[in-house]
Amino acid sequence: MELQYLSGGDRRLEVIDSQIVLVEYGPMRMQIQAFEHGELLVDLAMEGGRVAFAVLEDLARFLPVLKMKVLQIEEKPTFPEVVRNMIRACKKMEADDLTPLAAVAGAASDVVADFLIARGGTRIIVDNGGDIAVRLKGEEQARIGIKTEVDARSAGYLLVIDSQMGIGGVATSGLGGRSFTKGIASAVTVLADNASSADAAATVIANVTNVEHPAVTRYLPETVYPDTDIAGEWVTESVGELPPEKISEALRKGLSEAYRLHRRAHIKGAFIAVKGNVVWTDSMNAVVRKL
């Protein structure tokens, strides 16, 4: 649900910190890393950056389709790969209010990561504003921080992923950042086969953490972004002090939805944070560590 992500703007493609390729195009900010057994593949990562530009242009061309409710969309073979990935990921969530834009950042990461892993490398990390595609081969591992607030400066937990786990995507949604949410979760991080599914699922799980309380304020998103894909649907503006039972209610709702998606094999696991309180699915026990 990040329509502003599709805006145009000046392009930027450069290497930072000697190992990360930074891609900026309008509000898109993507960081790409490519390694082969520990050796940097900067030229390959730069190729991925050029693919990212093309992906964003495909998204802009298909914006009318992407703003439709996903369950009303009939997928066509003429759709670009990134658009097909968004539609498939969101349809799996079985949520009536979802549009394909719920998976936009993760889907873009997937396309770039798949392009890169097919051309070399044993560890590919594509981080598109916190929605991350991971591709690992052999003995490779990835270490990814989990924030308990979307806008936090540092992570409170750590994920350690290896190539045998079948995890190809890590995505976060919640109150703050560039996304809209209907819930009160400060952060929901989801692991899935790919970043598209993780992104869509994080949106859905974050949305269901909604509770009614005077401390929760809401607004209509079109008052901030007139071209939003969810006009007329109330989203959360801020969350003040809540009684413990409301925090527990939000965590319980989120965890229940996470287990539903896990039972259907749509996600590998989920981590949910509300007001400094955290829960996660049992499937995360092997990969989550507190910092």
Report helix angle 81-92 to 104-117, nearest 10.
120
* CATH code that applies to domain 3-290: 3.10.520.10
Residue 1, pLDDT score: 35
Q: How many CB atoms lie within 10 A of CB 128?
A: 28
Residue 9, pLDDT score: 56
Contact (Cβ atoms closer than 8 angstroms) between residue 209 and residue 185: yes
Contact (Cβ atoms closer than 8 angstroms) between residue 120 and residue 110: no
| pLDDT per residue as tens digits for the range 115-164 | 999 998 999 999 999 999 999 999 999 999 999 999 898 999 999 999 99
| pLDDT per residue as tens digits for the range 219-251 | 999 998 888 889 999 999 999 999 999 999 999
What is the separation of C-alpha 263 from the centre of its chain, rounded to a whole number of angstroms?
A: 20
Measured CA to CA, the distance from residue 114 to residue 133 in angstroms comes to 9
Contact (Cβ atoms closer than 8 angstroms) between residue 270 and residue 280: yes
Edge-to-edge, what's the strand order for the sheet holding 288-290?
141-146, 157-162, 288-290
In the Cβ-directed half-sphere of 43, how many Cα atoms lie within 13 Å? Answer: 2
Measured CA to CA, the distance from residue 112 to residue 235 in angstroms comes to 31
Q: Which of 228, 223, 33 is nearest to 116 (CA)?
A: 33
Whole-model pTM: value is: 0.94
Contact (Cβ atoms closer than 8 angstroms) between residue 228 and residue 222: yes
Mean pLDDT throughout 243-270?
98
Contact (Cβ atoms closer than 8 angstroms) between residue 184 and residue 248: no
Dihedral (CA of 60, 11, 39, 190) sign: negative
Mean pLDDT throughout 101-108?
96
Q: The tokens of 164 are what?
A: 């045998």
Residue 38 has pLDDT above 60, yes or no: yes
Residue 227, pLDDT score: 85
Measured CA to CA, the distance from residue 290 to residue 6 in angstroms comes to 35
Number of H helices, E strands in the chain: 6, 15
Written as one letter, the residue type at 54 is A
Residue 3, pLDDT score: 34
Residue 7 has pLDDT above 80, yes or no: no
Mean pLDDT throughout 77-101?
96
Residue 23, pLDDT score: 94
Contact (Cβ atoms closer than 8 angstroms) between residue 28 and residue 52: yes
Residue 5, pLDDT score: 40
Highest mean pLDDT among 19-23, 94-98, 175-179, 256-260: 256-260
